[in-house]
Amino acid sequence: MKNFYRSICPGVLLLLSTGSGLAADGANNNFNSLLWMQASAEYKANTTQAYNTALRNIDAALRDRKWTAAKEQVGDCSSLPPAIVMDIDETVLDNSRYMGKVVLEGGEWSPVTWNEWVALQSATAVPGAVEFINAMKGKHVRVIFISNRECMKGGNPGTGNNCQEAGTIENLAKVGVAGVLPEDLLLLGERDGWTSEKKSRREYVSKKYRIVMLFGDDFGDFLPDVKSNITPQERDRLVGENKKNWGRKWFMLPNPTYGSWINILRDPKSQYIMKY
Ligand SMILES: [Mg+2]
């Protein structure tokens, strides 16, 4: 039976089987990935590990006025106030129950149901994220969110004149991240040039702040030009080239359910499975 790949607004891609068995290329749906995110201690340990490591490193980052985590930061940033830049979905907020509904009910991602989910403000917190964010307040570190949740100028063809800013701020408050200012939430489409490629928004933040750490679940939360028209081998090379940043300036949260990691793969995806 046919499988559907659907891209969701924060760059989400779900593989949904509508029929029996595996796709011709051997791909399965998100069943095991969702089990891991929702039912495993291992997922929670991974996210907690990332945030604990960041917390241990933040003082060093603040002391060193030349320390920056963003490739987009150019020139002398030593007099700028420090900020961390965080993605939201699967970095701070856990949307796996939206994905669970899609998988269990055999539906597919749609901008309408995704928008309903955002409006419900029912996403839970990624373990470790809230404690870390609130610890930043005590250290006078600004927390800036760069998310591909949308706030489209002129509206969205699928969902009308849609801005997910208020719903997202409310959801963050519900999980314990209180008082996020609209100006600290940089959404897709909110300004000209703010595409799903986050480079332009990191540039925008870097003019006002020294970006000391980056947090995300997608390679594109850290580097430009890694979300399309790129091979897995080239992405691997870039991971190695930036080896010193991981766990020090860059913190990757695990997400086996969607992301540019799978979007960049060509069909049939079985060609990427190696065997002895
Ligand atoms: Mg994300």
The string of pLDDT tens digits covering residues 194-245 is 999 999 999 999 999 999 999 999 999 999 999 999 999 999 999 999 999 9
What pLDDT digit, counting tens, does each position of 164-205 carry?
999 999 999 999 999 999 999 999 999 999 999 999 999 999
pLDDT in tens, 100-127: 998 899 888 888 999 999 999 999 999 9
Tell how far the Cα of 80 is from the centroid of ligand 1, in angstroms: 27
CATH superfamily of 41-94+123-272: HAD superfamily/HAD-like (3.40.50.1000)
- Cα 139 to middle of ligand 1, angstroms: 25
pLDDT at 3: 34
**87 CA to middle of ligand 1, Å?**
5
The C-alpha atoms of residue 227 and residue 151 are separated, in whole angstroms, by 21
- Tell me what pLDDT residue 254 has: 98
The model carries a pTM of 0.90
Residues 6+ apart with CB under 8 A from 240: none
Q: What percent of the chain has pLDDT over 90?
A: 82
Mean pLDDT of 80-86: 98
Nearest to 260 by CA among 2, 7, 27: 7
Taking residue 264's Cβ as centre, other Cβ atoms within 10 Å add up to 17
* Ligand 1 geometric centre to CA of 31 (Å): 19
Instruction: Compute the distance from residue 220 Cα to the ligand 1 centre, in Å.
Output: 9
What residues does each domain of the chain span? 41-94+123-272
What separation in Å is there between the alpha carbon of 91 and the centre of ligand 1? 6
| Diameter of the chain measured on Cα atoms | 60
For residues 74 and 10, the model is more confident at 74
Q: Tell me the CA–centroid distance for residue 198 and ligand 1, in Å.
A: 11
86 CA to centre of ligand 1 in angstroms: 9
- What is the predicted pLDDT for the residue at 158? 64
C-alpha of residue 159 to centroid of ligand 1, in Å: 21
From the CA of 275, how far away is ligand 1's center (Å)? Answer: 30
3-state secondary structure of 224: coil
In this structure, what token pair is assigned to residue 25? 């290329």
CA of 10 to the centre of ligand 1 (A): 7
Instruction: Find the 68 Cα to ligand 1 centroid distance in Å.
Output: 21
pLDDT on residue 186: 98
